[in-house]
Structure 1
């Protein structure tokens, strides 16, 4: 028997609607109220509180090598990454002006010494004539004064010679420490001027096997950071490798930017294989507190509140702007009791941003707490099934 096409389509639509209704009925009735909630069991475990920040890897000792005289770079003896020893020549400036000035000063000094010799001889001669009463006291005094003046001239020109010789020596740039050249800021033919401040020509890291991280932590976290605390950090160059260090110093000098106060925390790092390089960005994590084998509650349970929870009524007469703040260590979690959420007050301790330590309260290991909802609240707490429109 062949049915009309319209009758066949109506039957198909009816079957689809019946299947959907059966599935909805199974969820709302077959699984019960508990299917609405996401739950998790309370367990014991370890909680580690840590604070994080970004920082920059730097050598412990980074020496900036400059010059005390001006001139043109004539020779370069080192380049980037070269290992140098203390006193090794790094560069040379053109010394023709310094050599000429030194030669002129030495010639002037020789002339002054010759004048001094003549003044000394004149003084002796005048003393002899004065004893024989062939010279007056004034003549003797003039001879003595001439000798002293010649002596002062010799000392003055000798000082100028030492100065010019030092300037000539400064035209040769030497390394003040042993280490590695991490920066070179000059080239052959470049003119360097040391008029107001000493220009930086090279930067030498004294020991790359010992590094430090200069990081900035917010003032809210700085109170928990102490010298000696263990540190873990990562760098972009080795994303799958974790490095270790320790807090070396918490500097007291604050930095304020956009009303945000931060403090510099120095982290000591051993770098025996010199894998870590100066300037790398370090993502620092400092463990500031730890609790072992304690009762823990998921942070999601602390954030959960029933959707149909009515807000508590407040007395407008007592709402005078001086409300008492809720204790930061107190919290509320919800457990299922006869198919309905029941609030439990607890006192909490430290957190690792996933689980939180439970200090006091009715919770015990194995208790089931609500951490979320699978279905939106319908407002029908009695469990009556709402009517469903078929078409």
Structure 2
């Protein structure tokens, strides 16, 4: 019996030790901890983000209308030019020859006119003479007919000679024009941003006009052509304020205004965008053609309104998530709401419906059910209860 009592005692002691270790080592109980932020008043600016390319407002491609060898070039990249300034010349030897030939052809045509006029005078006299002789029965009627025919021929030749003069004058004007085309001048005031030809190079203008230079008219006034997604284009209005930055000056913020929202869609890989043209002032010439602009277009503004973090509108307590998802399915929609802590312990989430306004992505304008200074829930987490706060359980 004594041995059995010893075994019973050690068995109870072993159970007690195991129970104590379980109570000490088990995971602490958890409670939900809510993170809240104040409802406050402030300004909200809703923007549309896009990327675009900087361009000169007016870019002119200067070409040549005649073929030939480039004889001289007077400008280079970044050269400022004035309207009418000579920027290149094409070898004009052949064109001078064409002018001389056209001048000779014109002189010949004018001589032909004088000759035809003399023949006409002679033909008129002969016709009158034959008529007089015929009236006196000195010549046959056939002689009169021959004289009248010669008169008509002389008149036709004079007309033809005068037309030849007009043709020769046109040919001379064409030759002189082609001669002028060998001198290439800038059509606008601006800056040369591209040069696609070198001295000694032969250019051919037989099929299409080759581009020799590209001139930006005025780089102090530029434009951004931004591609705005079709989902956002409804928010963009002409005259809207725009801010943007470029990678070359990431700390610098540039501004502009929307000048045009083009109706022509641009479809790239099944993505539809619309081109928005933004006027930009560039007095310091920091911006250069071709730079990529990261654009923010001001779509709407709200001043001194109640606002909450946008994540507060997305928050739903874990215990209520399934319930609200079921309500969504039944109602097909659900009004916006935020959650606040209420109840006697101040730890019970309470849903407050609100009406939302514009949003800048981080904050959203709200109305109804909230007041400045209230705290709304933005997130929740599970916090552990300290072991020192737990009472040891007796066995």
TM bin (shorter chain) = 0.7 to 0.9
**Offset from partner CA, 1:7-49 (integer Å, 9 cap, x none):** xxxxxxxxxx99xx79x86xx68xxx46x22211211111111
State the 1:308 CA deviation.
3.1
Answering whether residue 348 of structure 2 is matched by residue 340 of structure 1, we say: yes
Match of 2:50 among 48, 53, 56: 53
Q: 1:326 to 1:109 in 2, by over 3 A?
A: same
Q: 1:292 to 1:310 in 2, by over 3 A?
A: closer
Match of 2:199 among 188, 203, 212: 188
State the 1:145 CA deviation.
1.3
The aligned length equals 350
**Offset from partner CA, 1:268-309 (integer Å, 9 cap, x none):** 111122221111111111111111111111112122222233
Larger radius of gyration: 2
For 1:202-351, list aligned pairs within 5 A: 202-312=213-323, 325-326=332-333, 330-337=335-342, 338=345, 339-351=347-359
The equivalent of 2:160 in structure 1 is: 149
For the Cα contact (< 8 Å) 1:308–1:377, is it kept in 2? Answer: no
**Offset from partner CA, 1:185-215 (integer Å, 9 cap, x none):** 1111222222222221111111111111111
The equivalent of 2:174 in structure 1 is: 163
Q: CA RMSD in A?
A: 2.9
State the 1:313 CA deviation.
8.9
TM-score, structure 2 as length reference: 0.81
**Offset from partner CA, 1:286-336 (integer Å, 9 cap, x none):** 111111111111112122222233523999xxx8xxx76426xx3122222
Match of 1:364 among 367, 371, 377: 371
Q: Which runs of 5+ in 2 are unaligned?
A: 1-19, 134-143
Residues in 2 aligned to 1:247 and 1:77: alpha-carbon distance in whole angstroms: 38
Residues in 1 aligned to 2:272 and 2:307: alpha-carbon distance in whole angstroms: 33
Q: 1:43 to 1:164 in 2, by over 3 A?
A: same
**Offset from partner CA, 1:210-230 (integer Å, 9 cap, x none):** 111111111221112111111
For 1:13-52, list aligned pairs within 5 A: 33=31, 36-52=33-49
Residues in 1 aligned to 2:355 and 2:266: alpha-carbon distance in whole angstroms: 35
For the Cα contact (< 8 Å) 1:83–1:181, is it kept in 2? Answer: yes
Q: 1:154 to 1:310 in 2, by over 3 A?
A: closer
State the 1:120 CA deviation.
0.9
Q: Which runs of 5+ in 1 are unaligned?
A: 1-16, 379-383
- Partner SS, residue 207 of structure 1: coil
Higher mean C-alpha deviation, range 347-356 or range 108-117: 108-117
For the Cα contact (< 8 Å) 1:51–1:221, is it kept in 2? Answer: yes
Q: 1:130 to 1:264 in 2, by over 3 A?
A: same
Answering whether residue 360 of structure 2 is matched by residue 352 of structure 1, we say: yes
